[in-house]
Amino acid sequence: MRNTLRHRRIRYSVVMIAVIALVAVFVIRLVDIQVVQAATLTSESVAKTSVPQTLYGVRGSIVDRNGTPLADSVTRYNITTAPKIVAGFSGKLGGTRIKTVSVHDALAALAAVSGGDLATMEKNISADPNSNFTYLVKGLDVPTYRKVMALSIPWIYPEKQAARVYPNGATAGNLTGFMGTDGAQAGLEYSYNQCLSATNGSETYERGLDGVMLPGSKVTTKEPVNGGTLQTTIDEDLQYMAEQDIATAAQSLKATSATATVSNAKTGEVLALADYPTVDPNNVTPTAQSDPGALGSRALTAAYEPGSTMKAIVASALIQEGKATPTSGVTVPYSRTFPWGGRISDAELHPTEKLTMTGVLAQSSNVGITELGDQLSAQTRFDYMKKFGLFQQNPDIQFPGQPSWPNQTSPNWDPQTNENSMFGQGIATTALQVANVYQTLANGGVRIPLHFVKGCTKPDGTVIDAPKATPTRVVSQSTATQVVDMLQSTFKADANGTLASMQPISGYNISAKTGTAQVALPNGKGYGPDTIISVVGMAPTEDPQYVVTVTFNKPQTDKYSWAAAPAFRTLMSQVLEKYRVAPSTATPTTYPSSW
Give the single-character DSSP code of 444: T
SS3 38: helix
d(C-alpha 428, C-alpha 306), whole Å: 7
Given a cut of 70, is residue 47 above it in pLDDT? no
Q: Which amino acid is at 405?
A: W
Q: Which of 3-12, 311-320, 512-521 has the lowest mean pLDDT?
A: 3-12
d(C-alpha 463, C-alpha 482), whole Å: 40
> Tens digit of pLDDT for each residue in 292-305?
667 889 999 999 99
Which residues sit opposite 54 in a β-bridge? 202
The whole-number pLDDT of residue 375 equals 98
Asked whether the beta carbons of 273 and 175 are under 8 A apart, the reply is yes
The H-or-E segment that residue 32 falls in is none
d(C-alpha 569, C-alpha 264), whole Å: 17
| Kind of pairing between the strands at 353-356 and 329-332 | antiparallel
Sketch the domain layout of the chain as residue ranges. 53-82+89-232, 236-279+295-578
d(C-alpha 33, C-alpha 183), whole Å: 47
CB atoms within 10 A of CB 525: 8
d(C-alpha 518, C-alpha 201), whole Å: 56
The whole-number pLDDT of residue 483 equals 98
The domain over range 236-279+295-578 is classified in CATH as 3.40.50.2300:
no
Higher pLDDT, 175 or 213: 175
Helices 311-320 and 378-387 pack at an angle, to 10 degrees, of 110
pTM of the predicted model as reported, rounded to 2 decimal places = 0.83
Separation of CA 190 from chain center: 8
Give 2's pLDDT tier (boundaries 50, 70, 90): low
> Tens digit of pLDDT for each residue in 247-293?
999 999 999 999 999 999 999 999 999 999 998 998 845 544 556 66
> Tens digit of pLDDT for each residue in 187-208?
999 999 999 998 888 777 676 6
The H-or-E segment that residue 331 falls in is strand 329-332
The whole-number pLDDT of residue 88 equals 93
The whole-number pLDDT of residue 288 equals 45
Radius of gyration of the chain (CA): 37
Give 3's pLDDT tier (boundaries 50, 70, 90): low
Q: Which long-range contacts (CB under 8 A, 24 or more apart) does 427-430 make?
A: 427/305, 427/306, 427/310, 427/385, 427/390, 427/391, 428/303, 428/304, 428/305, 428/403, 429/303, 429/304, 429/305, 429/306, 429/310, 429/390, 430/299, 430/300, 430/301, 430/302, 430/303, 430/304, 430/402, 430/403
Give 224's pLDDT tier (boundaries 50, 70, 90): confident
Whether residue 540 is preceded by a cis peptide bond, meaning omega within 30 degrees of 0, is: yes
| Kind of pairing between the strands at 69-81 and 134-140 | antiparallel
Q: Which of 36-40, 217-221, 457-461 has the lowest mean pLDDT?
A: 36-40
**The dihedral of CA 149, 154, 156, 157: what is its sign?**
positive
CB atoms within 10 A of CB 294: 19
Q: Could you tell me which of 571, 543, 321 has the C-alpha nearest to residue 443?
A: 543
CB atoms within 10 A of CB 32: 12
**The dihedral of CA 344, 348, 353, 356: what is its sign?**
negative
CATH of the structural domain 53-82+89-232, one choice from 3.90.1310.10, 3.40.50.300, 3.30.460.80, 3.40.50.720: 3.90.1310.10
The whole-number pLDDT of residue 221 equals 73
d(C-alpha 214, C-alpha 202), whole Å: 18
Give the single-character DSSP code of 36: I
Can you spell out the DSSP letters for 268-310? -BEEEEEEES---TT-S-GGGSS-GGGGS-HHHH--B--GGGG
> Tens digit of pLDDT for each residue in 388-406?
999 999 999 999 999 998 8
| Kind of pairing between the strands at 546-553 and 527-539 | antiparallel
SS3 386: helix
d(C-alpha 133, C-alpha 129), whole Å: 10
Average confidence (pLDDT) over 438-447? 98
> Tens digit of pLDDT for each residue in 400-434?
999 998 878 999 999 999 999 999 999 999 999 99
Q: What average pLDDT does the chain have?
A: 90
Q: Cα dist. 157→132, 189, 197 in Å? A: 12, 31, 26
SS3 323: coil
High-pLDDT (> 90) share of the chain, %:
74
Can you spell out the DSSP letters for 163-180? EEE-TTTTTTHHHH--EE
- Residues contacting residue 514 through CB under 8 Å, at least 6 positions apart: 308, 309, 364, 490, 498, 499, 533, 534, 535, 561, 562, 564, 565
What is the SS3 assignment for 183-232? EECCHHHHHCHHHHCCECEEEEEEECCCCCECCCCCEEEECCECCCEEEE
Give the single-character DSSP code of 587: P
> Tens digit of pLDDT for each residue in 513-568?
999 999 988 877 789 999 999 999 999 999 999 999 999 999 999 999 999 999 99
d(C-alpha 306, C-alpha 438), whole Å: 13
SS3 311: helix
Average confidence (pLDDT) over 479-508? 96
Q: Could you tell me which of 288, 61, 330, 345 has the C-alpha nearest to residue 195?
A: 61
Q: Could you tell me which of 578, 572, 502, 566 has the C-alpha nearest to residue 248?
A: 566
